[in-house]
Amino acid sequence: MPSNKSVSDAPIVQFTNCRILRSHQLQREDLWVREGKILNPEKLFFDEKGSADIQLDCKDSIIAPGFIDVQINGGFGVDFSLATDDFKSGIDLVSQKILSHGVTSFCPTLVTSPPSVYHQVLPQISIRNGGAHGAGILGAHLEGPFISKEKKGAHPEHCLRTFEERAFQDLLATYGSLDRVRIVTLAPEMKRSSEVIRELTKQGICVSLGHSVANLSQAEEAVQHGATFITHLFNAMLPFHHRDPGIVGLLTSDKIPAGRRVFYGMISDGIHTNPAALRIAHRAHPKGLVLVTDAIAGMGLAPGRHTLGQQVVEIDGLNTYIAGKWPGTKTLSGSVATMDTCVRHFQEATGCSVETALEAASLHPAQLLGIEHKKGTLNYDSDADFLMLNDSLYVQATYIAGEEVWRQKVLGM
C-alpha cells in the first residue's frame, strides 16, 4: 500500500460520487482534502505516491464552495447593532445557526448607530476562521452612519452623520477603530467622500455605495477613487432614470477603471427586489452580482416585533417593516430570508444555471473581498469550506476546513 506520510501525517479524505463546482462548471470528479485544504490528486498520486485514508460516498450530491454573506445584521434573536454585555455569545449563536443555511464565512453588519455603539461592539468582533463553533468572521460591515437622509430607509435619522472638515478623522472618531472592519457603506454624494473613499481603500477596506441620492457621475467618481461595491442594488437609492441612471448605471458604465470590477449586492428574497429587476441586473452585469441576506434579528424567529439597531421592526411573513409607521407608508427594514433561500429564489427568478446561482453566493463575494485565492472556489490549495446540496439546492451538509460542521437530519433516523 502506498504511504501517505511523505509530506504530512494528516489523513487524506476522498469525497466520491459527487459533482464538484469548479471552473464555473459542475464536474463529475472526486474531491480530495487534507489539513483543511483541497488537494491536487495528481500531485498526491505522482509526487507523494499517496492515497486516501478515508473515502466518503456523497451519493451524487453537488459539492459547492461555502456561501459568504457580506451583509447580515443578525438573526435568531441577535442584533449586531445592539451593544449588549453578552454580544460575544450572540455573534457565536448566529455563526453557529447559519451553518445549516450553507454560510461558512460572513461579515457581521452594523446599521447606523451612535458612536458609543461602534466603540463598544467593534472590539468584540474577532476576525476568526470557521469551524464546528460556527461560520468564520471576515470582519465587520459598517452600513452608515455617513449616508443620505433622503434614502435612510430603516436607519435612524438622529444618528446620521456628514463628513466635516477633517473627513477621515471624523469617520475614525465615529467608529473608534478600523482594525476589525472589512466593508463601509457610505453615500458618495456627501462632501469630502472622495478623500474618505481613497483612505479606506488604502487601508484595504472595501467601500460600498448605498443609502444614497448620488447621480451616475458621482457614483463613477467614487469608483474611480476606489469604491468596488453597491449595497443592496435598487434599494435605498434613486430609481433608474434613462437620462441619469444613478448608482444603478454603474452596472453598464464605461467609466470604470480598466481591470476593475464593480460588484453589487442583491437581496433575492422575493420582497426587496421584484424578479424582473433581479433579471435586469443579472443580465446587465452577471459577474458582479453578490447575493446577500441583509438578515435582521428576526431571521429564524416567529412573526412579531424585533429590533434592528435603534429601531423596532415588525415581521409579517417574509416582510419586515419599521414598527409604528402610518398605514401605507411601510418602510422595509432588512430581510428574514436565509442565504440558501436567496440562492434558490435567484435561480428560479432568473432561470440561470445552478453554477451561476451558487457562484453568486460564493465566488463573487470572495472576489469582492479579494480572498478568492482561498475561499469561494474549490481550486487546489484553497480552504476546504464547502457544501453538499441536492439538485434543488437544499443544503445537506456543511464542511469547514474539511470537517463536517452541520448535517441535515434524516427523518426516522
Is 334 labelled as part of a ligand binding site? yes
Higher pLDDT, 327 or 107: 107
- Asked whether residue 29 is marked as a ligand-binding residue, the answer is no
Whether the per-residue pLDDT at 325 is higher than 60: the answer is no
Q: State the alpha helices, DSSP H only, in 122-167.
A: none
Q: What is the mean predicted confidence (pLDDT) over 176-200?
A: 97
DSSP 265: E
Query: Where residue 270 falls among pLDDT bands split at 50, 70, 90?
Result: confident
Mean pLDDT calculated for residue range 210-234: 98
3-state SS class at 126: coil
State the catalytic residues: 294
119 is in an annotated binding site: no
Q: Which of 401, 381, 397, 375 is nearest to 101 (CA)?
A: 397
Which residues in the chain are classed under CATH 2.30.40.10? 13-64+376-407
Class of domain 13-64+376-407: mainly beta
pLDDT at residue 330, as a whole number = 67
302 to 9, 74, 217, 331: CA distances (angstroms): 48, 15, 43, 20
Q: Which CATH class is domain 66-369?
A: alpha beta
Q: Using one digit for the tens of pLDDT, what is the confidence trace for 65-118?
A: 999 999 999 999 899 999 998 999 999 999 999 999 999 999 999 999 999 999
DSSP code for 212: B
Residue 288 is assigned to a ligand binding site: no
Residues of the chain with CATH 3.20.20.140: 66-369
